[in-house]
A = this chain, B = another copy of it.
Amino acid sequence: MDKQKAIIVLSGGMDSGVLLADYSRKVDFAAALFFYYGSKHNDKEMKCAESLAETYNVSLKKIELPFIGELFNSSLLASSDEEIPEGHYAEENMKSTVVPFRNGIMLSIAAGFAESADADLILLGSHAGDHTIYPDCRPEFNAAFAEAVKHGTYNHVKMSAPYSNITKTDIARIGYEIDFPFEQTWTCYKGKEIHCGKCGSCTERKEALSCDGHTDPTTYEV
Protein backbone atom coordinates (compact mmCIF):
# COMPACT_ATOMS: atom_id res chain seq x y z
CA MET A 1 0.00 0.00 0.00
CA ASP A 2 1.21 3.52 -0.76
CA LYS A 3 2.24 5.55 2.23
CA GLN A 4 0.07 8.53 3.17
CA LYS A 5 1.39 11.94 2.13
CA ALA A 6 1.51 14.03 5.29
CA ILE A 7 1.98 17.59 6.56
CA ILE A 8 3.22 18.02 10.14
CA VAL A 9 2.88 21.08 12.37
CA LEU A 10 6.44 21.32 13.72
CA SER A 11 6.95 23.72 16.63
CA GLY A 12 10.54 22.84 17.50
CA GLY A 13 9.36 21.39 20.83
CA MET A 14 9.84 17.77 21.86
CA ASP A 15 6.25 16.62 21.23
CA SER A 16 6.03 17.44 17.54
CA GLY A 17 9.72 16.53 17.19
CA VAL A 18 9.19 12.98 18.44
CA LEU A 19 6.06 12.76 16.29
CA LEU A 20 8.14 13.68 13.21
CA ALA A 21 10.75 11.06 14.06
CA ASP A 22 8.16 8.44 14.96
CA TYR A 23 6.19 8.96 11.71
CA SER A 24 9.13 9.47 9.37
CA ARG A 25 9.08 5.75 8.62
CA LYS A 26 5.29 5.46 8.52
CA VAL A 27 4.35 8.27 6.09
CA ASP A 28 5.86 10.41 3.32
CA PHE A 29 6.19 13.98 4.56
CA ALA A 30 5.24 16.58 1.93
CA ALA A 31 6.39 19.31 4.33
CA ALA A 32 6.70 20.42 7.94
CA LEU A 33 5.06 23.75 8.77
CA PHE A 34 6.63 26.07 11.33
CA PHE A 35 4.58 29.04 12.54
CA TYR A 36 6.24 32.27 13.54
CA TYR A 37 3.49 33.93 15.56
CA GLY A 38 5.47 36.18 17.88
CA SER A 39 5.86 34.10 21.05
CA LYS A 40 8.75 34.94 23.39
CA HIS A 41 10.43 31.63 22.52
CA ASN A 42 9.68 31.63 18.77
CA ASP A 43 13.28 32.27 17.65
CA LYS A 44 14.55 29.41 19.80
CA GLU A 45 11.82 27.14 18.49
CA MET A 46 12.57 28.07 14.89
CA LYS A 47 16.24 27.07 15.17
CA CYS A 48 15.14 23.70 16.59
CA ALA A 49 12.52 23.19 13.87
CA GLU A 50 15.18 23.92 11.23
CA SER A 51 17.56 21.46 12.83
CA LEU A 52 14.92 18.71 13.13
CA ALA A 53 13.75 19.20 9.53
CA GLU A 54 17.35 18.72 8.41
CA THR A 55 17.87 15.64 10.59
CA TYR A 56 14.72 13.99 9.25
CA ASN A 57 15.11 15.32 5.71
CA VAL A 58 11.76 17.10 5.49
CA SER A 59 11.06 20.35 3.63
CA LEU A 60 10.35 23.11 6.20
CA LYS A 61 7.91 25.90 5.34
CA LYS A 62 7.93 28.89 7.67
CA ILE A 63 4.70 30.82 7.98
CA GLU A 64 4.53 34.22 9.65
CA LEU A 65 1.42 35.28 11.54
CA PRO A 66 2.21 38.85 12.62
CA PHE A 67 -1.43 39.67 13.33
CA ILE A 68 -1.34 37.43 16.41
CA GLY A 69 1.19 39.69 18.15
CA GLU A 70 -0.75 42.76 17.03
CA LEU A 71 -4.31 41.73 17.90
CA PHE A 72 -4.28 38.86 20.41
CA ASN A 73 -3.68 38.85 24.17
CA SER A 74 -1.38 36.30 25.85
CA SER A 75 1.59 36.42 28.23
CA LEU A 76 3.31 34.02 25.82
CA LEU A 77 3.65 36.77 23.21
CA ALA A 78 6.71 38.99 22.88
CA SER A 79 4.23 41.89 22.42
CA SER A 80 3.01 41.31 26.01
CA ASP A 81 4.70 42.84 29.08
CA GLU A 82 3.17 40.15 31.28
CA GLU A 83 5.69 37.72 32.81
CA ILE A 84 5.56 34.01 31.98
CA PRO A 85 4.24 32.39 35.19
CA GLU A 86 6.35 29.85 37.09
CA GLY A 87 5.20 26.64 38.78
CA HIS A 88 3.44 23.53 37.62
CA TYR A 89 1.99 23.40 34.12
CA ALA A 90 -1.44 22.24 35.14
CA GLU A 91 -1.99 25.17 37.45
CA GLU A 92 -4.51 27.90 36.82
CA ASN A 93 -1.79 30.56 36.55
CA MET A 94 -0.54 29.04 33.27
CA LYS A 95 -3.82 30.17 31.70
CA SER A 96 -2.25 33.52 30.83
CA THR A 97 -0.02 31.70 28.34
CA VAL A 98 -2.93 30.58 26.15
CA VAL A 99 -2.79 32.10 22.66
CA PRO A 100 -6.48 32.06 21.70
CA PHE A 101 -7.33 29.36 19.14
CA ARG A 102 -3.68 29.07 18.10
CA ASN A 103 -3.98 25.39 17.21
CA GLY A 104 -7.12 26.06 15.19
CA ILE A 105 -5.29 28.72 13.20
CA MET A 106 -2.24 26.51 12.57
CA LEU A 107 -4.39 23.51 11.64
CA SER A 108 -6.58 25.45 9.22
CA ILE A 109 -3.51 26.75 7.40
CA ALA A 110 -2.12 23.20 7.38
CA ALA A 111 -5.43 22.01 5.85
CA GLY A 112 -5.26 24.56 3.04
CA PHE A 113 -1.62 23.77 2.43
CA ALA A 114 -2.30 20.01 2.45
CA GLU A 115 -4.98 20.48 -0.21
CA SER A 116 -2.59 22.57 -2.34
CA ALA A 117 0.24 20.03 -1.91
CA ASP A 118 -2.07 17.10 -2.64
CA ALA A 119 -1.41 15.64 0.83
CA ASP A 120 -4.04 13.63 2.68
CA LEU A 121 -2.93 13.73 6.32
CA ILE A 122 -2.16 16.46 8.86
CA LEU A 123 -0.23 15.44 11.98
CA LEU A 124 -0.33 17.42 15.22
CA GLY A 125 1.71 16.73 18.38
CA SER A 126 -0.72 17.82 21.10
CA HIS A 127 -0.91 15.48 24.11
CA ALA A 128 -3.05 14.67 27.14
CA GLY A 129 -1.14 17.03 29.47
CA ASP A 130 -2.12 20.01 27.34
CA HIS A 131 -5.83 19.42 27.87
CA THR A 132 -6.15 21.03 31.26
CA ILE A 133 -5.22 24.50 30.14
CA TYR A 134 -5.55 24.75 26.38
CA PRO A 135 -9.09 24.31 25.07
CA ASP A 136 -7.81 23.86 21.50
CA CYS A 137 -5.75 20.83 22.54
CA ARG A 138 -8.67 18.81 23.89
CA PRO A 139 -9.99 15.63 22.25
CA GLU A 140 -13.42 17.16 21.59
CA PHE A 141 -11.78 20.10 19.80
CA ASN A 142 -9.59 17.76 17.77
CA ALA A 143 -12.55 15.57 16.80
CA ALA A 144 -14.69 18.51 15.65
CA PHE A 145 -11.79 20.13 13.81
CA ALA A 146 -10.96 16.87 12.05
CA GLU A 147 -14.58 16.73 10.84
CA ALA A 148 -14.35 20.31 9.57
CA VAL A 149 -11.09 19.55 7.73
CA LYS A 150 -12.59 16.45 6.12
CA HIS A 151 -15.71 18.30 4.93
CA GLY A 152 -13.85 21.49 3.98
CA THR A 153 -11.37 19.88 1.54
CA TYR A 154 -11.88 18.10 -1.77
CA ASN A 155 -9.23 15.57 -0.77
CA HIS A 156 -11.07 14.81 2.47
CA VAL A 157 -7.83 15.55 4.28
CA LYS A 158 -7.52 13.61 7.53
CA MET A 159 -6.28 15.27 10.69
CA SER A 160 -4.63 13.17 13.35
CA ALA A 161 -3.15 13.92 16.79
CA PRO A 162 -1.77 10.47 17.62
CA TYR A 163 -0.44 11.52 21.05
CA SER A 164 -3.59 13.23 22.20
CA ASN A 165 -4.36 10.53 24.78
CA ILE A 166 -0.85 9.94 26.13
CA THR A 167 1.29 12.13 28.40
CA LYS A 168 4.51 14.03 27.76
CA THR A 169 6.33 11.30 29.71
CA ASP A 170 4.95 8.68 27.31
CA ILE A 171 6.22 10.85 24.42
CA ALA A 172 9.65 10.99 26.09
CA ARG A 173 9.62 7.16 26.30
CA ILE A 174 8.83 6.87 22.57
CA GLY A 175 11.64 9.32 21.85
CA TYR A 176 14.22 7.49 23.97
CA GLU A 177 13.28 4.26 22.26
CA ILE A 178 14.02 5.62 18.78
CA ASP A 179 17.12 7.61 19.84
CA PHE A 180 15.43 10.92 19.28
CA PRO A 181 17.81 13.92 19.63
CA PHE A 182 16.00 15.78 22.45
CA GLU A 183 18.86 18.31 22.55
CA GLN A 184 17.54 19.58 19.18
CA THR A 185 14.27 20.72 20.80
CA TRP A 186 13.19 23.78 22.76
CA THR A 187 10.50 23.95 25.44
CA CYS A 188 11.03 26.97 27.74
CA TYR A 189 8.38 29.68 27.32
CA LYS A 190 10.82 32.40 28.40
CA GLY A 191 13.01 31.94 25.33
CA LYS A 192 16.31 33.04 26.94
CA GLU A 193 19.77 31.64 26.17
CA ILE A 194 19.14 28.32 27.95
CA HIS A 195 16.01 26.67 29.43
CA CYS A 196 14.99 28.47 32.67
CA GLY A 197 14.00 25.27 34.46
CA LYS A 198 11.27 27.05 36.44
CA CYS A 199 8.36 27.86 34.12
CA GLY A 200 5.48 25.43 33.75
CA SER A 201 6.72 24.12 30.43
CA CYS A 202 10.29 23.52 31.74
CA THR A 203 8.89 21.76 34.82
CA GLU A 204 6.93 19.42 32.59
CA ARG A 205 9.91 18.80 30.27
CA LYS A 206 12.15 17.95 33.23
CA GLU A 207 9.63 15.46 34.63
CA ALA A 208 9.19 13.78 31.23
CA LEU A 209 12.87 13.57 30.23
CA SER A 210 14.03 12.16 33.57
CA CYS A 211 11.54 9.28 33.40
CA ASP A 212 12.61 5.66 34.03
CA GLY A 213 16.10 6.69 35.20
CA HIS A 214 16.97 8.51 31.94
CA THR A 215 19.35 11.45 32.04
CA ASP A 216 17.69 14.63 30.72
CA PRO A 217 20.17 16.06 28.16
CA THR A 218 18.85 19.64 28.65
CA THR A 219 20.91 22.36 30.37
CA TYR A 220 18.69 24.39 32.72
CA GLU A 221 19.40 27.66 34.55
CA VAL A 222 17.99 26.07 37.73
Q: B72 to A100, Cβ gap below 8 A?
A: no
Q: Which residues of B contact A152 (CB under 8 A)?
A: 101, 103-104, 135-136, 138, 141, 145
Q: A61-B71, A112-B72 are in contact. Are A147 and B149 (CB under 8 A)?
A: no
This chain: copies in complex: 2
Q: A108-B107, A140-B151, A144-B148 are in contact. Are A100 and B115 (CB under 8 A)?
A: yes
Interface SS of chain A: helix
Q: A104-B149, A147-B147 are in contact. Are A112 and B99 (CB under 8 A)?
A: yes
Q: Which residue of B lies closest to A99 (CB)?
A: B112
* Residue A207 lies at the interface, judged by CB distance under 8 Å to chain B: no
Cα of A195 to Cα of B103 in the assembled complex, Å: 38
Binary flags per residue of A139-168, CB closer than 8 Å to B gives 1, else 0:
011001101111111100000000000000
Closest Cβ of chain B to A49, distance in Å, is 16
Q: Could you tell me which A residues sit within 8 Å of B by CB distance?
A: 61, 63-64, 66-68, 71-73, 98-105, 107-109, 111-116, 135-136, 138, 140-141, 144-145, 147-154
User: What are 17 A-B residue pairs whose CB atoms fall within 8 Å in the complex?
Assistant: A64-B67, A67-B109, A71-B116, A100-B111, A100-B115, A100-B116, A101-B108, A101-B115, A102-B112, A103-B152, A104-B112, A135-B151, A141-B148, A144-B145, A144-B148, A145-B145, A148-B148
